[in-house]
Amino acid sequence: MEAGEGVSSATPTEEMNGAGNLMDFLDEPFPDVSTYEDFHTIDWLREKSRDTDRHRKITSKSKESIWELIKSLLDAWSGWVVMLLIGLLSGTLAGVIDLAVDWMTDLKEGVCLSAFWYSHEQCCWTSNETTFDDRDKCPQWQKWAELMTGHTEGAGAYVLNYFLYILWALLFSFLAVSLVRVFAPYACGSGIPEIKTILSGFIIRGYLGKWTLLIKPVTLVLAVSSGLSLGKEGPLVHVACCCGNLFCSLFSKYSKNEAKRREVLSAAAAAGVSVAFGAPIGGVLFSLEEVSYYFPLKTLWRSFFAALVAAFTLRSINPFGNSRLVLFYVEYHTPWYMAELVPFILLGVFGGLWGTLFIRANIAWCRRRKTTQLGKYPVLEVIAVTGITALLAYPNPYTRRSTSELISELFNDCGALESSQLCDYINNPNMSRPVDDIPDRPAGPGVYNALWQLALALIFKIVITIFTFGMKIPSGLFIPSMIAYHHHDWIIFKNWCRPGADCVTPGLYAMVGAAACLGGVTRMTVSLVVIMFELTGGLEYIVPLMAAAVTSKWVADAFGKEGIYESHIQLNGYPYLDVRDEFTHRTLATDVMRPRRNDPPLAVLTQDSTTVEDVETLIKDTDYNGFPVVVSRESERLIGFVQRRDLTLAIKNARQKQDGVVSSSVVYFTEDAPQLPASNPQPLKLRRILNLSPFTVTDHTPMETVVDIFRKLGLRQCLVTRSGRLLGIITKKDVLRHMAQMMNQDPESIMFN
């Protein structure tokens, strides 16, 4: 599938033509040829073409012997093996992370006497009093103050606990940020913007490397346990992609081909979401809708398999102790009513507004961090935010707990025996009444108290999350986003429905609110709904979830097309060509191509009149990635394109190994070099490294078509011709720059016309 440029492993015809040619010494591709440099863009068509060549070679060999047949079968199955390994490792990692976060979050408050490696819940397993409010009554679990002073009540114990809570939080976050800075600078952040960029064909070496894989889970546990307002979902996707990258290196099929590697990474992202939420199908859809760039149907099935294995592994580890895949399993007994669609849609509107607000505020803060002095003290920033978070979080029971426990609390309906403060309706007098009557009971003081605390928690979470996302430690925002919003609706609707006799299901509102909020922030729709109902098991509530997600997306899109991940990609200046942006301006290829009007002419090579010295000068003087080859400077008829990297290597190789190649040797890109007198220097024949099928468009091609071609075919560059004559070149970065200019109505854009 090559067309973009420089196919180093010659095209088929080349092999046939060149077979008998004595001068053609480049039978073996030289080492390092056709790899990419860091922070460069890959050429999808070329990579795919290389893979097809490889595949053809294996297929034809497989007929030779049994051993080759076995090798070809192994090759065919290696994709599934990689998926299996990714699923197993990411499932295991997710399980371990879940257990570790549970334990370390509880460590901030106290310790289990019977076995210090137990979390609060595991510690009190037998006493069966693990509901939200009664959790202090378990004798095996001792708070630090109790352990150290023997007192459980009183201001002294409270202050000591408070102090130790903050201390632990600071310690955790300091450890996290230090580990990241020392060992794996790429382990910070959620990783999803970078993964999107990498999947679109950009090279960031080390981003998915072994060190990141080692350090990210550890720092993630530390960061989440420190109580910072961040989720482990995005980072888990990053970790899964690191697994994917690791297992790619086992098979040359994947490690040596950037396009195939990206297929594996897409599937790994699906596995990551699958374990983050226990939502295998949601994971596949997330990979498809949100992160992947090139997602053939084959990858869909592979992702599906990886997500399945990962979810299954997680289920076997069973970190939630309920042998369910579902993270926040809820079972509502009431159906929803048609009229409730109105509040659901309102929730969608609020979610959209919140999403817009969050993105704007967070991007503004991140920009400030980038441009001012602040960015120079990342450790201090993390410590400060952790300190403030811990300081403000402890007094409020809803923020003191880990966020996932809180969500599970909020999503659940009140049962008759529920002891949570939120369910503190006055039901003591008539305990004999059936459970269905609960909504009719008047709310007790605990409910109002809880609502008040939730309101504070909501505001606190909203503000702190804006500052947290983008800090230099592993951080995600799925769960914080969720939580922020469903507090909100809880408050509104709890009050709104209290007077009515037939009360609605508050847990459902929490769920819908969470979906709306996440939709506003990330702009996912289908995958979001699937994740939400896989997360909660609420298949009956697809319609409310859909309504909220779509509304939220509409509202948020009205204020700005970009989700949080795209915004961060833009903030970091990655060359990401978003498939969602529609290019509707009336510019033509001729307006975008280089050289521009007053530039020096395009640097080209001729097929039979350039010397080795000329080529070396051209390579030294310019920094282009490749050069078009034309018949002659007069006719300017294009015959091919040669990669800078291949050219450099080929000349170096020839100078070392081939006799008679000197600076004045003529470089030939033609099929046959002419017979020269022996006195002339030996010619250098380089047709092998010439891409004979460079991608061309005419100068009249509208830019919308060019953008479409770049997107769909994954080109790096494209040559511009007019009636067969070479005029210029358009690279992916030219396209991106042009799009940005047209978008911002930059005055510079007029210059082009």
Instruction: Give min distance, CB of 687 to a second copy, in A.
Output: 11
Stretch binding a second copy (CB under 8 A), from 371-379, 436-444, 507-515, 539-547: 539-547
Contact status: 368 vs a second copy (CB under 8 A): no
- Helices 44-62, 258-277: inter-axial angle, 10-degree rounding: 100
> Which of 316, 622 has the CB closer to a second copy?
316
Instruction: Give min distance, CB of 297 to a second copy, in A.
Output: 6
Contact status: 220 vs a second copy (CB under 8 A): no
The only residue of 561, 704, 749, 752 in contact with a second copy, by rule CB under 8 A: 704
Cα–Cα distance measured from residue 422 to residue 650, given in angstroms and rounded to the nearest whole number: 73
Cα–Cα distance measured from residue 586 to residue 583, given in angstroms and rounded to the nearest whole number: 9
- 3 state SS for 666-734: EEECCCCCCCCCCCCCCCEECHHHEECCCCEEECCCEHHHHHHHHHHHCCCEEEEEECCEEEEEEEHHH
Instruction: Give min distance, CB of 381 to a second copy, in A.
Output: 35
Q: Kindly list the distances between the CA atom of residue 673 and the CA atoms of 19, 632, 653, in Å, as whole numbers in the listed order.
A: 15, 15, 19
> Which of 145, 639 has the CB closer to a second copy?
639
Instruction: Give min distance, CB of 155 to a second copy, in A.
Output: 48
594-633: contacts with a second copy (CB under 8 A)? 631
The only residue of 12, 20, 601, 747 in contact with a second copy, by rule CB under 8 A: 12
Instruction: Give min distance, CB of 440 to a second copy, in A.
Output: 23
Q: Look at phi and psi of residue 42 and say left if phi exceeds 0, alpha if psi is from -120 to 50, else beta.
A: beta
What is the per-residue binding string for a second copy in 294-333, x denoting contact by CB under 8 A?
A: --xxx-xx--xx--x--xx--xx------xxxx-------
**In a 10 Å sphere around its CB, with 0-12 CB exposed, 13-18 middle and 19+ buried, how is residue 645 labelled?**
buried
Instruction: Give the residue among 407, 414, 413, 427 at the shortest CA–CA distance from 485.
Output: 407
Instruction: Give min distance, CB of 94 to a second copy, in A.
Output: 16
Contact status: 404 vs a second copy (CB under 8 A): no
Q: What is the DSSP string of 343-380?
A: HHHHHHHHHHHHHHHHHHHHHHHHHHHHHSGGGG-HHH
53-82: contacts with a second copy (CB under 8 A)? 55-56, 59
The only residue of 20, 31, 150, 335 in contact with a second copy, by rule CB under 8 A: 335
The only residue of 127, 692, 737, 752 in contact with a second copy, by rule CB under 8 A: 692
512-531: contacts with a second copy (CB under 8 A)? 525-526, 529-530
Instruction: Give min distance, CB of 88 to a second copy, in A.
Output: 14
Give first-to-last CA distance, the chain, whole Å.
34
Cα–Cα distance measured from residue 33 to residue 52, given in angstroms and rounded to the nearest whole number: 17
> Which of 224, 308 has the CB closer to a second copy?
308
Q: Which amino acid is at 3?
A: A
> Which of 315, 369 has the CB closer to a second copy?
315
709-738: contacts with a second copy (CB under 8 A)? 709, 712-713, 721, 723-725
Contact status: 375 vs a second copy (CB under 8 A): no
142-181: contacts with a second copy (CB under 8 A)? none
Tokens for 304, please give them.
């599906």
> Which of 509, 710 has the CB closer to a second copy?
710
Stretch binding a second copy (CB under 8 A), from 44-52, 87-95, 378-386, 595-603: 44-52
Contact status: 539 vs a second copy (CB under 8 A): yes
Instruction: Give the residue among 189, 42, 181 at the shortest CA–CA distance from 572.
Output: 189
Tokens for 638, please give them.
């294009």
User: How many whole angstroms from its chain centre is CA 487?
Assistant: 27
Q: How many CB atoms lie within 10 A of CB 102?
A: 24
Contact status: 342 vs a second copy (CB under 8 A): no
Q: Which amino acid is at 714?
A: G
